[in-house]
Structure 1
Amino acid sequence: MGALLWLAMALYQPTYWQLLPIGYVVVFFVALISNMLASNAVLHSASLGASIWAIILGCLLRNLVGYLQKDKNQPIPPWLKIAQQTELYIAISLVLLCIDISELKPLAPRALFVSWIDTPSLFMVVAFIGWRWLDIDKQTSIIMSGATFICGSSAAIALGSALGATHKTDMPIAIISIFTIPSIIALPYIAKSLNFNPNVAGAWFGGCVDSTGAVIASASIYNDPQAISTAAVVKMIQNVLIGPLSVAMAWLWTQYELRQAHMDEQEHLHPNNHQDDTPVNNGHVDIPLDSIENGRKNNYTLTNNKTIKKQEKAYILLWKRFPKFVLGFIITAVLFNTVIPGGQDERTLVKNYCFYVSEYFSTLSFVSIGLGLKMGELKRNIRSLGKLCVLYLVAQLVDIVVTAVLAWLAFTKM
């Protein structure tokens, strides 16, 4: 795994890529300890998965390294920073999620009904609530909402990439990983108390528990093989939604940015149409920083009311924002369903192994998220953290209620 990652780094040569082996050994060792803790029988019964331990241990490592540095404000050392590849690890994890068409066929129509009906619409409604009423910036609100309604960290990274805001994914992922634990434990007991049959319960877990591993854990607590199978199928189909939804968001956000750029250009070309108290200096218009929404860089140089536009074509911008893992996911699915010889047992072995490696890369991504969490920064951003927690709780509550209704309709009335 480390050698292949180093090869990938060598191909596009980011800064300090030569130091990857040093940092990767440390990150992998933390992931190994996280998986060992998650496998402990007592801790496993409390639903403390590898993701939680990885975030906690990664955060402790980050703050320990910061404490040992002479300059407390110094960034993370290069040898560790280069191994903090959250987006890359999650992309690999997603590509390795093999979809077996033969398993999907029996439950596909009802699973589609449960996982695809509410997700796109409720995802945007809750995102709108986040930026309009909770005053969270648009990108973070979309990432948090999408991650809650689809599948946690995978959706967060995909949407962050589509929006050009991968740096805004760490806190939503950390919040979701921690708050998922009560859902994993509570939902199976609620399903039993409501007398849900195994298919309804499994579809409910698959539709509203955030990650694939957490879905299987929740279904295992329910303790019915049919519930586990249904939950896995519903989650797999919901995972597929990451691709088209990310592409759609990349296109919509590209159009939004181009429209905002055009509006800014018109405003600067015709300043007399607006109240203008912008200072003018020797024929140059100084544009105040607070006029740039969400830290977006100004793309205009204004001299004597003439605009030189530095703007990419829409299709180029879309390709840059396009989540490339979607292509890998499609290729893997095609290969898995066409070239693997033998019977169903061999396919199951291959799928289980791919899932195991996928989960390991997922754990590496959670370690990377922990490495991005510095206590001092968390204290400074405590208000924003509270708003994100409120948005998550609203989204999760809506998701739990709506998915329960859809699961009941799909597996009792259809």
Structure 2
Amino acid sequence: MLPNLKDKQQEVNVPSNEGKKRSWNTEDWWAVWLGFGVIFLVLINFIPKPTLPARWGSGDQQGILNTIPSDGFIPVIITGMVALFIFYVAIRFLKKEISNQFLVAFPVLFTLTLLAYVLGQYGPWRHYGFNDVIWALAIGLFISNVLKTPAFLKSVLHTELYIKAGLVLLGASILFDRMLALGLLGVGVAWVVTPIVIIVMYWFSQRYLKMNDQKELAITISSATAVCGVSAAIASGTAAKAKKEEITLAISITLIFTILMMLGMPALVRLFGMDPIVGGAWLGGTIDATGAVVAAGSLLGDEAMEVASVIKMVQNILIGFVAVAIAIFFVSRVENKGTSSQKKVTGKEIWVRMPKFILGFIGASLIFSFLLPDQTVEAALPTIDGYRGLFFTLAFVSIGLESNFKELAKGVRGGKPIILYIVGQLFNIILTLLAAWVFFSGTFFTLPF
């Protein structure tokens, strides 16, 4: 599915001693350096807010030309140059041999990203959740599966670097005080159900589906289903040392069903006359992507959207803890099992295994929650969120360009990953609905609004 697959797999499954040699110069650490670099440059007002295609197709902005920013194309070009510089620095250290090719290919990737933004900013489509991320994936998949991805673009397809850097920036938006907005109610839905679903799904994959030779894929799909889709797939897959094509497979499955759930679940809430607040909590705990949660919640009203959004953000906080727990489990139980000599699991081994970009995610969240003045946070977050969205869209174009349905079908192996996702998501939907009713129906707890 991915170019140079054997080399890519070797990069993922780096032995501990090699990890020590590389020290700070790894993709995970560079995601941290880039994320905090962007945050610092934003805080000192050195880089401008990203300028990207504007909303069109609704109100007074019907024509597609309305997508052109009011300041023209120059700010858009500057945004592209800033993004190019940010990632070129990392590529220069990580893969110096392809750095010149990266300079040539990145403008093409950025152009495809702009096209995704133009399509995603069309009002009627965006209302139903077809935003820039969905179109980015669609554009990449079309090129990869119909036209074939040009060889020169392969130097710029660094999906995980884009997503990991974006996740560090996401940490700045996941403020701990947002969790307190709904108190223990949101925690009850987001933190109680999630670990249960992960454990049950992984147990089901090993006991009934017999995915004994696909443990890494199973835990990646389980985490993506229970936590937050793509972000959790990257974090948990990295922690378990899953192959890159396994992570991509988990992401692809998640994205397909996210679209279906985003459109279908609000319709079910209305069909059965469910309380919109309970429905919002249900959506927030089950739909995988944060953007899809907001879009689906908005179909049920403002309060439902607020509940859904906060629950999803509270759930997102678990990304780091889940990744660390998976790293410990795989080092101590999975990789030691069946060996003649059980190796002692040390703190150093867990440190090597743990995704370092998670530290950046948690660090950014702590800094913006407790160390920076509220005024500074409010001023900086729109710009930081703009770059985070841009990085994610770059990543989804890359995912599409790297993905081939023929190869994807080979990875499914008799449909077991699909079965795992469907069974797990159904269990997640039922359990979350019960939790949403317990915590948000007003029967057992007083609602904060």
TM-score above 0.5, yes or no: yes
Shift of 1:187: 1.6
Supply the distance in 2 between the matched residues of 1:338 and 1:251 (Cα, whole angstroms): 29
Supply the distance in 2 between the matched residues of 1:350 and 1:51 (Cα, whole angstroms): 23
Within 5 Å, give how 1:136-151 maps onto structure 2: 136=211, 137-151=214-228
Shift of 1:49: 3.2
The residue that corresponds to 1:20 in the other structure is: 102
Supply the distance in 2 between the matched residues of 1:159 and 1:177 (Cα, whole angstroms): 16
Q: Which runs of 5 or more residues in structure 1 are unaligned?
A: 68-75, 267-310
Q: Is the 8 A contact 1:254 1:314 kept in 2?
A: no
Q: Is the 8 A contact 1:159 1:246 kept in 2?
A: yes
Residues 22-53 of structure 1, C-alpha deviation per residue, up to 9 Å, x if partnerless? Answer: 23222222222122212212322443233332
Q: Which moved more, 1:313-322 or 1:390-399?
A: 313-322
Name the SS of the counterpart of 1:262 in structure 2. coil
1:44 is the counterpart of 2:126: yes
Q: Which moved more, 1:108-117 or 1:197-206?
A: 197-206
The residue that corresponds to 1:57 in the other structure is: 139
Shift of 1:378: 3.4
Shift of 1:3: 0.6
Shift of 1:260: 3.5
1:406 is the counterpart of 2:406: no
Supply the distance in 1 between the matched residues of 2:298 and 2:204 (Cα, whole angstroms): 34
Residues 313-368 of structure 1, C-alpha deviation per residue, up to 9 Å, x if partnerless? Answer: 7444322221112211122112223454454xx64453343333222222222222
AA of the residue aligned to 1:100:
L
Name the SS of the counterpart of 1:113 in structure 2. helix
TM-score w.r.t. the length of structure 1 is 0.79
1:358 is the counterpart of 2:440: no
Residues 171-207 of structure 1, C-alpha deviation per residue, up to 9 Å, x if partnerless? Answer: 1111111111121112222223444434322221111
The residue that corresponds to 2:18 in the other structure is: none
Q: Is the 8 A contact 1:157 1:166 kept in 2?
A: no
Q: Alignment partner for residue 82 of structure 1, among 155, 171, 175?
A: 155
The residue that corresponds to 1:133 in the other structure is: 208
1:370 is the counterpart of 2:403: no
Q: Is the 8 A contact 1:55 1:367 kept in 2?
A: yes
Shift of 1:406: 0.4
The residue that corresponds to 1:272 in the other structure is: none
Q: Which moved more, 1:349-358 or 1:118-127?
A: 349-358
Within 5 Å, give how 1:151-230 maps onto structure 2: 151-167=228-244, 168-222=246-300, 224-230=301-307
Supply the distance in 2 between the matched residues of 1:149 and 1:102 (Cα, whole angstroms): 23
Q: Is the 8 A contact 2:235 2:358 kept in 1?
A: no
Supply the distance in 1 between the matched residues of 2:381 and 2:274 (Cα, whole angstroms): 29
The residue that corresponds to 1:91 in the other structure is: 164
Closer/same/farther in 2, CA of residues 229 and 144 from structure 1, 3 Å limit: same
Closer/same/farther in 2, CA of residues 83 and 185 from structure 1, 3 Å limit: same
Shift of 1:126: 1.1
Shift of 1:87: 1.4
Name the SS of the counterpart of 1:210 in structure 2. coil
Q: Alignment partner for residue 317 of structure 2, among 235, 240, 249?
A: 240
Q: Is the 8 A contact 1:101 1:337 kept in 2?
A: yes
Closer/same/farther in 2, CA of residues 131 and 13 from structure 1, 3 Å limit: same
Q: Is the 8 A contact 1:52 1:178 kept in 2?
A: no
Shift of 1:2: 1.7
AA of the residue aligned to 2:90:
A
Name the SS of the counterpart of 1:259 in structure 2. coil
Residues 238-261 of structure 1, C-alpha deviation per residue, up to 9 Å, x if partnerless? Answer: 001010110010111111355247
- Between the two proteins, what is the percent identity of the paired residues? 32
Closer/same/farther in 2, CA of residues 316 and 260 from structure 1, 3 Å limit: same
Name the SS of the counterpart of 1:409 in structure 2. helix
Q: Is the 8 A contact 1:114 1:207 kept in 2?
A: yes
Supply the distance in 2 between the matched residues of 1:14 and 1:153 (Cα, whole angstroms): 28
AA of the residue aligned to 1:132:
R
TM-score w.r.t. the length of structure 2 is 0.73
Closer/same/farther in 2, CA of residues 52 and 387 from structure 1, 3 Å limit: farther
Shift of 1:116: 0.8
The residue that corresponds to 1:276 in the other structure is: none
AA of the residue aligned to 2:395:
S
AA of the residue aligned to 1:38:
G
Supply the distance in 2 between the matched residues of 1:171 and 1:64 (Cα, whole angstroms): 19
Supply the distance in 2 between the matched residues of 1:221 and 1:348 (Cα, whole angstroms): 27
Name the SS of the counterpart of 2:403 in structure 1. coil
Residues matched between the structures, number: 356
Closer/same/farther in 2, CA of residues 169 and 43 from structure 1, 3 Å limit: same
Supply the distance in 1 between the matched residues of 2:401 and 2:209 (Cα, whole angstroms): 27
Supply the distance in 2 between the matched residues of 1:376 and 1:100 (Cα, whole angstroms): 41
Shift of 1:57: 1.6
Q: Which runs of 5 or more residues in structure 2 are unaligned?
A: 1-82
Residues 114-172 of structure 1, C-alpha deviation per residue, up to 9 Å, x if partnerless? Answer: 01111112212112222332243111111111101100000000011101114111011
Name the SS of the counterpart of 2:322 in structure 1. helix
Q: CA RMSD in A?
A: 2.5
AA of the residue aligned to 1:318:
I
AA of the residue aligned to 1:36:
V
Supply the distance in 1 between the matched residues of 2:431 and 2:186 (Cα, whole angstroms): 14
